Structure 1
Amino acid sequence: MWKTALKPRWIAGLVFAIVVSGVFVLLSQWQFGRSVQPEVPVSPATEETKALTETLEPGHFFPGSVSDQMVSAEGTYDPAKQVLVPGRLKDGKTGYWVVSAFAVKGAPVLTGVAASPQTWIPVARGWVSDPEDAVAPPPGTVDLTGRLIPSESPLPETAPEAGHASAVSVAELINYWDVSSYPGFVAATAEMVDGTDVSAAAVSGDLKPLNIGPQPPAQKVNWLNLFYSLEWVVFAGFALFIWWRLVKDDYRRGLEEDLDDDAHDDAPPTPPSSATSEQLQQKVKP
């Protein structure tokens, strides 16, 4: 069968089948890429800074519509209410987020037995590689700007050491600080005090800015495109199968022709008919 496959026309057919299969594989990759692309791009509205008090309400669930929203708020930090969250990466290094409690001016005050006189929000002010590098938050009234992020979940079966937290979890931090809080936290981008930005992004030092950008929407699988990608793979295999099938049929036809030729060569000579024999006898009579 290899002799049949090595005929010039079948070699050309194989090259054609490989080219067609390659095109089908590329189409499969394209369809697969489309099957996992986010359908909705990052909204530019999240980059427009809005007042925190008009964006999120304390005492309620965090709505997904305000996630990643840039917000601003006026208030004060409490240097006694600051924790370090370990296991945070920056530029390939593992360090700590410095998270401070920020009392929001003009925020609604919650009611209840455990409610505090002010409403607070955790602020991730920056990143440090060593706990000793964590500095106290700026004193006085601060005009805060940052990205609003949903509360993280605390790590189960984890008992952080003093001055540390397992995550930027509002449920965990309000127990440390004994305050009422918004259901999320802010990753600071600017901290203005008397018209001067004193945040980690503006002041060089051991405290590094987080630089958290807007997160793209969760990817959804488009099952129709995924089905098409699998279909193109089947077509690629079918193109090669057709070539193999044609070669096999040509090989079988060659075998049949060889058998027919052999059968014709081995057949006995045909005896003369009776009429022909009588004619020969008459010719030999004197």
Structure 2
Amino acid sequence: MIQMMLRPRWVAMLVLALAIAAGFALLGQWQLSRAIESGVVVERSTEKVLPLNEIVQPDGPPYDSANGQMVTVDGFWVAGDEQLIADRLNGGESGYWVVSHFITSEGAHIAVARGWAPDKKSAEAARENLQVGTAVEVTLNGRFVAAEAPELPKDGRDSHEMTTVAPAALINIWKGFTDQSVYFGYIVDAKAAPGLAVIDSPVPLEDAALNWLNVFYALEWAVFAGFAVFLWFRLVKDAVEREEEEAAIAAAGTPDALP
């Protein structure tokens, strides 16, 4: 069989098979590098306070890079548009958020979580204090968070009770809101309103998962590379077996050749 492998025809086919295998190996390496790149965490400075309109625009979904970013914005509170959000954890303890309606100086609307209370009674008392406000421009600093989806209360609770900060639901109860610009997210105030505790707002964790689809493709290309060499070996082996069989027939004096 070694003599067969050394024939020019099969040497040339081996070179072709190795070239094809090398191409497959390069494609596999490229797929693997893509999988690794997708799993690399790109650090971003979320704690640097940036103007809100620099990281996200109203009337559209925010980019992932905007989620968790500390922002600043000027605008006005809309007194009387405070809502309670139940089942919010603060330091591992469940309680209530008080969420206000804020209009930026550019006229866009956004929800702002003003603070946390351990029980509904305390949250309602704080909300009453906030509902007596004046239209004075203020500078708001806090962490921007992507909007949450509306959820129906569970366990037979009041159907009007909110458990998520969902602008899609809030705009239906905000006073005087029609079709103005709105941010699909909210701000967690860096300071707490009177009667409320500051909401825990830790630095967001960067979570990047390895792209297993690219890893699977890389393994596929490796299999293809191995198959190219195996196919060459199989063809050589078949050729050797065919010649040996033909030689055996000739030695037996059979004039007929194999098909």
- With the length of structure 2 as denominator, give the TM-score of the two structures: 0.56
Cα distance in 1, alignment partners of residues 98 and 120 from structure 2: 9
Residue 155 (str. 1) matches residue 151 (str. 2): yes
- Residue aligning to 1:165: 162
User: What is the CA-CA distance between 1:152 and the residue it aligns to?
Assistant: 0.5
Residue 177 of structure 1 aligns to a residue whose secondary structure is coil
CA RMSD, 1 decimal:
3.1
Contact 2:153 2:159 in 1 (8 A): no
Contact 1:42 1:215 in 2 (8 A): no
Could you list the per-position Cα deviations for residues 33-82 of structure 1 after superposition, in whole angstroms to 9, with x for gaps in the alignment?
xx9xx7315422x2111111232211112211211111111111122111
Which residue identity does 2:205 align to in structure 1? P
Residue 65 (str. 1) matches residue 65 (str. 2): yes
Contact 1:123 1:188 in 2 (8 A): yes
- With the length of structure 1 as denominator, give the TM-score of the two structures: 0.51
Counterpart pick for 1:122 among 94, 98, 111: 111
Contact 2:147 2:186 in 1 (8 A): yes
Cα distance in 2, alignment partners of residues 160 and 58 from structure 1: 33
Cα distance in 1, alignment partners of residues 160 and 139 from structure 2: 25
- Residue aligning to 1:182: 183
User: What is the CA-CA distance between 1:104 and the residue it aligns to?
Assistant: 0.7
Counterpart pick for 1:210 among 192, 199, 206: 199
Which residue identity does 1:99 align to in structure 2? V
Contact 1:148 1:185 in 2 (8 A): yes
Cα distance in 2, alignment partners of residues 157 and 98 from structure 1: 17
Residue 148 of structure 2 aligns to a residue whose secondary structure is coil
User: What is the CA-CA distance between 1:121 and the residue it aligns to?
Assistant: 0.4
Unaligned runs of 5+ in 2: 1-35, 216-259
| Equivalences, count | 167
- Residue aligning to 2:138: 142
Cα distance in 1, alignment partners of residues 165 and 148 from structure 2: 5
Residue correspondence of structure 1 range 233-252 to structure 2 within 5 A: none
Cα distance in 1, alignment partners of residues 92 and 53 from structure 2: 35
User: What is the CA-CA distance between 1:141 and the residue it aligns to?
Assistant: 2.1
Sequence identity (%) = 29
Cα distance in 2, alignment partners of residues 153 and 129 from structure 1: 23
- Residue aligning to 1:39: 40
Which residue identity does 1:175 align to in structure 2? N
Residue correspondence of structure 1 range 12-27 to structure 2 within 5 A: none
Q: 1:151 to 1:163 in 2, by over 3 A?
A: same
Could you list the per-position Cα deviations for residues 75-129 of structure 1 after superposition, in whole angstroms to 9, with x for gaps in the alignment?
111221111111111223210111100011124xxxxxxxxxxx21000111101
Residue 89 (str. 1) matches residue 86 (str. 2): no
User: What is the CA-CA distance between 1:211 and the residue it aligns to?
Assistant: 2.8
Which residue identity does 2:96 align to in structure 1? Y
- Residue aligning to 1:48: 48
Unaligned runs of 5+ in 1: 1-34, 108-118, 190-198, 227-286
Which residue identity does 1:172 align to in structure 2? A
Cα distance in 2, alignment partners of residues 66 and 219 from structure 1: 16
Larger radius of gyration: 1
Q: 1:216 to 1:128 in 2, by over 3 A?
A: same
Cα distance in 2, alignment partners of residues 152 and 209 from structure 1: 20
- Residue aligning to 1:246: none
Residue 199 of structure 2 aligns to a residue whose secondary structure is coil
Cα distance in 2, alignment partners of residues 98 and 149 from structure 1: 16
